[in-house]
Amino acid sequence: MTSVDAEDWLRALAEERGDIDRSSTAERVADKLRAGVLDGDIKPGQQLNEKALGDVLRVSRNTLREAFRLLTHERLLVHEYSKGVFVRKPDWRDIVDLYAARRVIEIGALHRWPNAADEVKRAVQEAVDLGLASAGEKDWTGVGTANIRFHQAVTALAGSARLDEEMKRLLAELRLAFHVMGDPRGFHEDYLALNQQISAHLRRDELRAAEEAMSDYFDRAEKHLVTGLRGE
Amino acid sequence: MTSVDAEDWLRALAEERGDIDRSSTAERVADKLRAGVLDGDIKPGQQLNEKALGDVLRVSRNTLREAFRLLTHERLLVHEYSKGVFVRKPDWRDIVDLYAARRVIEIGALHRWPNAADEVKRAVQEAVDLGLASAGEKDWTGVGTANIRFHQAVTALAGSARLDEEMKRLLAELRLAFHVMGDPRGFHEDYLALNQQISAHLRRDELRAAEEAMSDYFDRAEKHLVTGLRGE
DNA sequence: ACGGTAGGTATTGTTCAACAATCCTTCAAT
DNA sequence: ATTGAAGGATTGTTGAACAATACCTACCGT
């Protein structure tokens, strides 16, 4: 074994360590539940029974409750005192609130473009490229994740891990709204061209134009979702 | 009793309901601990012993741990696996991250001034007035809370409860940093005039000027804190 | 004196079981 | 139809038990 090998081994170990630390039972349970909620297997409004779920997942009620708390903080579940936890069911008011937040954060982040690191700037265009490639292969869920990645990349322009976290939560909550209104196929595709346009503006340092395009995006997407949820 | 009275009474009752629902033991414990941390009675870096604290507060370890989790999500405590929970001790990197987030959110919110409701707009000036009044009475902690309220009012221009929540967390975290560097007296007073200036710009719809004044504020405050924390 | 090792103590991680408090449903009475 | 009470189901909270880990200390060999 050469010393290079040894170094590699140590580095690999260090990478894995994050997974090891994350191995709390509650977090693994939370991962399972999160996937179920975001994939729509557990439907918005549905109650999560502690005993029943605990029996299925083979964990104690205490551990399960901790997982609930994690997801409650991510706004995927809501807790009603003495009643239990339910999958969040966003209504149109939530959408209005959410887009008010997105408008501020993402447009604010756009303004930080001149100060952003090159690597972060590049990630914006890469998300656009990924979306185009996915569309070329008619991989529509791929287009959806690329769209989300685009907006995360824009947020990352600000250079704040805390802001990135919050945006992650907001986008996850948005995904819940899709499930409420029956996840309209082709929702994300409409905005593919718009993302490309925004990215192009940015690379030319046309902040004003990028901001307006983004603002346009928010107006249309919000209206789309609000009208969709009004019908519920 | 007229029907108007009955309606008023019902409305008042509905307002109180929030307090009733909040009666979980863990949340009350969290409230106590939060106050202790934010007031500086529990110092940054200090460990919170489960058994000792549980005995003092007369709650079980399980309940106490739940309170810990709540405060960990608020970033007031940090959890180290198998070691316990400690009061967060922000360093200069945290400050950089925090101010990156504040720059985006607050300046982004500033841009929503034309769209904000009148009542929310008024709250901005009211926070300034409160600060001036407190300064007149040499109530320096009052000046501090007024300053915080000012920035919350600016954030509220966006009209998003989610954003308001996040800002509350960011400002609470910032307060921790003050305790780390020994809470320099007169920190907030310096920025009293600046707030007044920003508010004046806003009322005249001079968004550009308001933004620059705010940006200036962030630059100076960040530098102040970073240099202060570097010495630790 | 120094570094390392082994062992003991204290603390945290996790689960379980029990009981109290609360909610929801059902059903009967007016 | 509304109210009230009983009952069952679910959640809230606690205490205890044991495992896993970290921390401290005394000891040992060099």
What per-residue confidence (pLDDT) applies to B118?
97
Q: Do B170 and A159 touch (CB under 8 A)?
A: no
Per residue in B148-165, pLDDT (tens digit) is 999 999 999 999 999 999
Residue A77 and residue A69: Cα distance in Å, rounded? 8
Lookup: tokens for B193: 């005039």
* Protein-to-nucleotide distance from the CA of B136 to the C1' of C20, whole angstroms: 53
Band of pLDDT at residue A1, cut at 50, 70 and 90: very low
3-state secondary structure of A170: helix
Residues of chain A in contact with residue B75, where contact means CB-CB under 8 angstroms, are 162
> Does the pLDDT at position B9 exceed 50?
no
Kindly report, as residue ranges, where domains of CATH 1.10.10.10 are found in chain A: 3-87
- Chain B nearest-CA distance from A146, in A, is 23
- CATH 1.20.120.530 domain residues, chain A: 92-229
Nucleotide minimizing C1' to CA distance for residue A24: C13
How long is the CA A63 to C1' C17 vector, in angstroms? 15
How far A169 CA sits from the closest chain B CA (Å)?
Answer: 10
Q: Using the beta-carbon criterion (under 8 Å), do B108 and A112 form an inter-chain contact?
A: no
pTM: 0.89
Q: What is the pLDDT of residue A69?
A: 86
Q: Does residue A18 have a pLDDT over 60?
A: no
The per-residue pLDDT of chain A, averaged, comes to 86
Beta carbons within 8 Å of A31's beta carbon, 6+ residues apart: none
Distances (CA, A) of B88 to B46, B68, B76, B93, B122: 8, 12, 5, 13, 35
Residues contacting residue B100 through CB under 8 Å, at least 6 positions apart: A112, A158, A159, A160, A163
Nearest residue to D15, CA vs C1'?
B60
Rounded CA-CA distance A108/B112 in Å is 11
Q: Which fold has domain B92-229?
A: Four Helix Bundle (Hemerythrin (Met), subunit A) (1.20.120)
Q: How confident is the model at residue B186 (pLDDT cuts 50, 70, 90)?
A: low
Question: What integer best gives the mean pLDDT of chain B?
Answer: 88
Looking at residue B34, its pLDDT comes to 95
Write the CB contacts of B58 (distance below 8 Å, at least 6 apart in sequence).
Answer: none
For the ranges A23-37, A173-187, A210-224, the maximum mean pLDDT occurs at A210-224
Distance CA A24, CA A63 (A): 9
What is the per-residue pLDDT for A179?
87
Checking if the pLDDT of A57 tops 80, the result is: yes
Q: What is the pLDDT of residue B6?
A: 46
> With contact defined as beta carbons under 8 Å apart, do A113 and A204 qualify?
no
| Residue numbers in A near B66 (CB within 8 A) | 65-66, 69
Residue of B nearest to A173 (CA): B162
Confidence of residue B183 (pLDDT cuts 50, 70, 90): low
Residues 6+ positions from A166 with CB-CB distance below 8 Å: A105, B166
Q: Report the range out of B19-28, B55-64, B120-129, B176-185 with the highest average pLDDT.
A: B120-129
How large a percentage of chain B has pLDDT more than 70?
Answer: 88
By mean pLDDT, which of A105-119, B19-33, B98-112 is the weakest?
B19-33
Amino acid A62 CA to nucleotide D17 C1' distance, rounded Å: 15
Q: Tell me which protein residue sits closest to nucleotide C21, measuring alpha carbon to C1'.
A: A82
Domain A3-87, CATH: 1.10.10.10
- CA A121 – CA A118 distance, rounded (Å): 5
Q: Taking residues B12-21, what's their average pLDDT?
A: 44
Q: Look at residue A4 in the predicted model and tell me its pLDDT.
A: 38
- Percent over 90 (pLDDT), chain B: 73
